[in-house]
Structure formats: C-alpha cells, structure tokens
C-alpha cells in the first residue's frame, strides 16, 4: 500500500459552541500524507489502478491554478512513478501559483488553455492531443473516484456515528460515503459553491442501487460562494484552531465547520447525535492567503 492509513486520526472535538448533548469527531484525512492529503487520494486511487490495469502510464487531468486535485495528483504520480499532465484553466501567469510551481517540480507537465477552451473541455478531443493517456476528470469526479472514497469509512470504526458530514465540491466524496455508510446513518454534504442545484443529480448518478442511507445537500453555508473568504470565516477557523488544534482550509473544511456550527446552533442535530466530520484535507490551498491571516 502506498500510504499508511494509521496516520489518520479520529479526533473528538469539544469546541465551546458544541453542546454537551452532541458528540463530534473529525476523521483527519488531512494527516494521510504531507502532499497527498485528504479526499483527493481516495478519489485518485481507483483511477490510478484503472490506468495501470490497461497499461497506461500517463495520467491527464484538469484543474485551476490552486487546485487541490492537481496538487495531490502531481504528488501521488511522483510517488507512484507515473507520468502526469494537467490541463490548467487560464493562461499561464507570469509567476505561477504555489500549487502549480510545486506540481511542476514534482514532474507534472502543465498544459495551459484559455478559460473559454477550459469551459468547453468536455467537447474537446483530448484523446488526440494526448494519445494513449488515461483521463481523470476535474476534481477526480467519476465513478472510480466515488468508489475510492468508499474506503474512507473503513479506516476507523465509525459505525456508531449517527451523522456523517463533509464539504461538497463535485459531490464525488459524498457519493462514496453514501455508498459505504450504514443505512441508519444520515449524511449531510455542505456545498461550497453558490446555487449549485445541479449537484443533487451529480451525486445521484454516482449512487449504487441498494438500500441507501438518508442524505441531504446543505446549500446555505457557502459563505458567499466558491473560494470566497470573509473575515467571519477566518475568525471562525482561527477560533476552531485555538480550541481543537485542527487546521482547516478556507475553501472546503472551513466552510464545513462553520456550516456545522450554524446548524448545531439552529438545532438541526438532536440531542444524542454523534457527528463524524470528514476532514478532507486541502490545506495547501491556504498558501494563497496573505501570511499571518491564519494562526497556523
Ligand atoms: C476537492 C475537495 C473537496 C470536495 O470534494 P468533492 O468530492 O469534489 O465533493 C472537499 N474538501 C477538500 C479539502 C477538497 O480539496
């Protein structure tokens, strides 16, 4: 196995805003590996296996300049000794983002395309531009990605949690969790994009045909929209760090915890709830903030 899952901790948290009647713990996927952190490895693993099974040793994938998915793909492919190329949204900036610089140092080839081309990427014949490559969609969003995420709930014994909650970008991780949770567990996905009503369908198509647990997408806690950073978010993340020593990222897990806090305060979780929060990693994204804004 490439990674030692025993690095991943199940950490109980007791922030001051959590009433004693509700228990909460974080599954620290961010602790998996310094560079291949969080849910992105789980989404990649079955894709990498599928590429190898058909003898392909070049992975081509897609993302923006700060993408956690590109960061994780570059690092994982370096560790695995396979080639990878990123189709990057937007022209190359004079100074590349920290994410792209690191990815490039790890051996990822960068192929920049205009925003217009990127928007139409699903209609472009990438096969002919990258012959023989194995293609992983943006964010690792495919059935193999969801399948890889099924493993998350078997890392620790989490069978007696009543609720499992996570941040949602494409919904791939949530789908894998739904497919592997017990039918009695309730899943809530906190969407980090504004008005992303298409997501319910995106999750639905990745679900397996079996008795599924109850699941719901929460659309109220995107905090202004994708990658929008407010002073409240920063203050909340810093406060959470002071109380738990757990670092969160601004795009996903910060919004998950702030959304969870608001839902706790509005009484969504009944007394006796045991809530598992998935820490999906992504901390490299915080490097895009001005130094000193976060306490960590
Ligand atoms: C990509 C990402 C997500 C979103 O995962 P999806 O499977 O796309 O919903 C959540 N958290 C972090 C830290 C991420 O990097």
In tens, the pLDDT along 96-117 reads 999 999 999 999 999 999 999 9
Cβ distance 24 to 13 under 8 Å? yes
Token duo for residue 197: 């009503």
Residues framing ligand 1 (Cβ under 6 A) = 38-40, 68-69, 139, 167-174, 249, 252-253, 280-282
Q: Give, in degrees to the nearest 5, the angle at Cα 157 between 153 and 158.
A: 60
List pLDDT tens digits, range 187-222: 999 999 999 999 999 999 999 976 789 999 999 999
Q: What is the pLDDT averaged over residues 65-72?
A: 96
Ligand 1 centroid–CA 40 distance in Å is 7
pLDDT of residue 210: 67
Ligand 1 centroid–CA 176 distance in Å is 12
Which residue CA neighbors atom 5 of ligand 1 most closely?
A: 169
List pLDDT tens digits, range 245-296: 999 999 999 999 999 999 999 999 999 999 999 999 999 999 999 999 999 9
pLDDT of residue 2: 80
Strands 109-113 and 186-191: unpaired
Best substitution site from 31, 147, 170 to test ligand 1's pocket, by max atoms within 8 Å of Cβ? Answer: 170
CA distance linking residue 164 with residue 26, whole number of Å: 10
pLDDT of residue 1: 67
Phi, psi of 242 (to 5 degrees): -60, -40
| Average confidence score pLDDT of the chain | 96
Q: Is the pLDDT of residue 138 over 80?
A: yes
Which residue CA neighbors atom 2 of ligand 1 most closely?
A: 169
Please give the number of the atom of ligand 1 that sits closest to the Cα of 30. 13
pLDDT of residue 211: 79
Which residue CA neighbors atom 13 of ligand 1 most closely?
A: 282
Ligand 1 centroid–CA 43 distance in Å is 10
Please give the number of the atom of ligand 1 that sits closest to the Cα of 139. 8
Q: What is the CA radius of gyration of the chain?
A: 19
Ligand 1 centroid–CA 160 distance in Å is 24
Token duo for residue 205: 């198509």
Q: Is the pLDDT of residue 172 over 80?
A: yes
Token duo for residue 200: 């319910």
Ligand 1 centroid–CA 167 distance in Å is 6
Ligand 1 centroid–CA 27 distance in Å is 14
Q: SS3 for 241-295, per residue? A: HHHHCCCCCCCCHHHHHHHHHHHHHCCCCCCCCEEEEEECCCHHHHHHCCCCCCC
Ligand 1 centroid–CA 165 distance in Å is 12
């Amino acid at each position: 196995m490439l990674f030692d899952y025993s690095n991943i901790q199940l950490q109980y948290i007791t922030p001051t805003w959590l009433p004693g009647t509700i228990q909460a713990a974080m599954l620290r996927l961010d602790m998996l590996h310094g560079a291949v952190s969080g849910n992105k490895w789980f989404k990649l693993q079955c894709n990498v296996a599928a590429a190898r099974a058909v003898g392909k040793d070049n992975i081509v994938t897609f993302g923006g300049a700060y993408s956690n998915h590109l960061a994780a793909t570059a690092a994982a492919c370096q560790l695995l000794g396979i080639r990878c190329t990123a189709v990057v949204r937007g022209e190359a900036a004079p100074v590349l983002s920290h994410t792209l610089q690191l990815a490039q140092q790890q051996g990822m080839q960068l192929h920049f395309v205009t925003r217009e081309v990127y928007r139409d990427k699903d209609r472009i014949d990438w096969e002919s531009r990258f012959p023989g490559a194995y293609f992983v969609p943006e964010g690792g969003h495919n059935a193999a990605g969801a399948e890889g995420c099924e493993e998350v709930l078997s890392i620790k014994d989490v069978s007696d949690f009543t609720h499992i909650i996570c941040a949602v970008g494409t919904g791939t991780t949530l789908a894998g969790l739904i497919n592997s949770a017990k039918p009695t567990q309730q899943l809530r996905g906190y969407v980090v994009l504004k008005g992303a009503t298409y997501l319910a369908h995106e999750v639905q198509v990745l679900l397996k045909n079996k008795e599924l647990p109850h699941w719901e997408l929460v659309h109220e806690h995107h905090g202004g929209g994708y990658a929008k950073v407010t002073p409240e978010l920063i203050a909340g993340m810093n406060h959470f760090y002071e109380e738990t020593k757990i670092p969160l990222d601004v795009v996903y897990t910060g919004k998950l915890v702030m959304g969870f806090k608001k839902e706790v305060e509005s009484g969504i979780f009944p007394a006796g709830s045991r809530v598992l929060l998935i820490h999906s990693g992504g901390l490299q994204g915080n490097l895009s903030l001005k130094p000193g804004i976060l306490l960590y």
